[in-house]
Amino acid sequence: MSSPTGKTSQYEASGVSQSGAETALDGILKHVLPTRKFSERYPLKADIGYFANVIDLGNGEGIAFCTDGVGTKVIVAELMNQYDTLGIDCIAMNVNDLICVGARPVSMVDYIGCSHTDPKVFEELGRGLAEGARQAEISISGGEISQVKEIIKGIDLIGAAIGHVKLDQINTGQNIQPGNLILGLAASGVHSNGLTLARKVLLGETLEEQKEKVNQYEESLGRTLGAELLEPTKIYVQPVMKMLEAGIDIRAMVHITGGGLTNLTRVQTDNIRFVIDPLPDLLTVYELIQEEGGISDAEMYEVFNMGTGFCVIVDHANDADQVHSICKEYGISCHGIGQVEPWTGKEVFIPSKNLKSSGSGFTLI
């Protein structure tokens, strides 16, 4: 796969194929989508492809659900022999998706595939899961440890979470209109997406190189490269729940994960364009990744959150002021990063970078 500049995609070269993932998903969906009719007593209320789905339980009540894992961030933990934050990432990646539909996260189960049962590793994993659950105000109601050393070398951590939402309060961005304002809630760092590329750019192509550099102190970051990459994903549950309880007219909530700001196009409204201007200040780690890797703007904004971990779209300035106030209360930096405009189709446009996307990566205009 090539980038808009004609160069080979660095992400693809690092071992992650975005186009391959889309093809794989198409192969699954042609079989999975028809299963909706197998459970007509409990219909689904959203399209597959949104951040979470909702099951209609009747009497106006719904259960939201989703699943996600921490990906190759596990490798950074293994290189550092430090596992006590991975559980926070696993909780975050799930609950941050749940709140996008307006649901209050309730509980999660975890799955750990492993090639060993090192007591230190599992104790630290448990500690992180507990801390993530505390931050998200959820329980961990069960889980599974599967020893599959023929398949996995090390560990893999995945979760599946549920939340509660009234059916008349489900939010999939269906009420977005031109003129709405886009607010960006700051990310704590790389979060849990794009780690394959970030790790290979900053630490080296081979595991031997990565072991040597993971504890290298980086002056511009004020800590080691490994510590920067291992920074846990921000959990946005508490401030977003307070926004919903305050009755703020929130038109959409969008978790900025893999795909970066292209995630905005997942909202279930057409004929709109998300104009991102001004861009928030770039995190230092992304400046370092782009410089060291020689990565184009288009690919950086496709692979990484670039400093914005979550977006809240509101109707007008008074709503935006309330969002800012609540974020400040929770110590989260929040900035107005753009607005919604009328458009034919659906697009994200970053004028300062001459980038646009209809949902599958950015292209240079």
Q: If you average pLDDT over residues 285-293, what whole number do you get?
A: 97
Per-residue pLDDT tens digits for 299-357:
999 999 999 999 999 999 999 999 999 999 999 999 999 999 999 999 999 999 999 99
Q: Which two tokens stand for residue 272?
A: 């709109």
- Residue 2's pLDDT is what? 42
- Residue 24's pLDDT is what? 78
Per-residue pLDDT tens digits for 113-158:
999 999 999 999 999 999 999 999 999 999 999 999 999 999 999 9
CATH number of 42-169: 3.30.1330.10
Distance CA 182, CA 275 (A): 9
Per-residue pLDDT tens digits for 228-264:
999 999 999 999 999 999 999 999 999 999 999 999 9
SS3 12: helix
CATH homologous superfamily, domain 181-364 = PurM-like C-terminal domain (3.90.650.10)
- Residue 1's pLDDT is what? 38
Distance CA 187, CA 193 (A): 12
CB 100 within 8 Å of CB 254: yes
CB 188 within 8 Å of CB 351: no
Element (H, E) at 47: none
Domain ranges of the chain: 42-169, 181-364
Distance CA 353, CA 210 (A): 32
Q: Which of 154, 234, 220 is nearest to 192 (CA)?
A: 234
Residue 200 CB partners (closer than 8 Å, separation 6+): 14, 210
Per-residue pLDDT tens digits for 177-214:
999 999 999 999 999 999 999 999 999 999 999 999 99
- Residue 121's pLDDT is what? 98
Q: If you average pLDDT over residues 79-103, what whole number do you get?
A: 98
Per-residue pLDDT tens digits for 7-61:
557 666 655 555 556 677 788 889 999 998 999 999 999 988 899 999 999 999 9
CA angle 195, 296, 189 (to 5 degrees): 35
Per-residue pLDDT tens digits for 93-108:
999 999 999 999 999 9
SS3 42: coil
Per-residue pLDDT tens digits for 210-229:
999 999 999 999 999 999 99
Please write down the HEC assignment for all residues of 186-226.
ECCCCCCCCHHHHHHHHHCCCHHHHHHHCCCEECCCCEEHH
42-169 and 181-364 have identical folds? no
Q: Which of 88, 106, 90, 110 is nearest to 98 (CA)?
A: 106
CB 307 within 8 Å of CB 286: yes
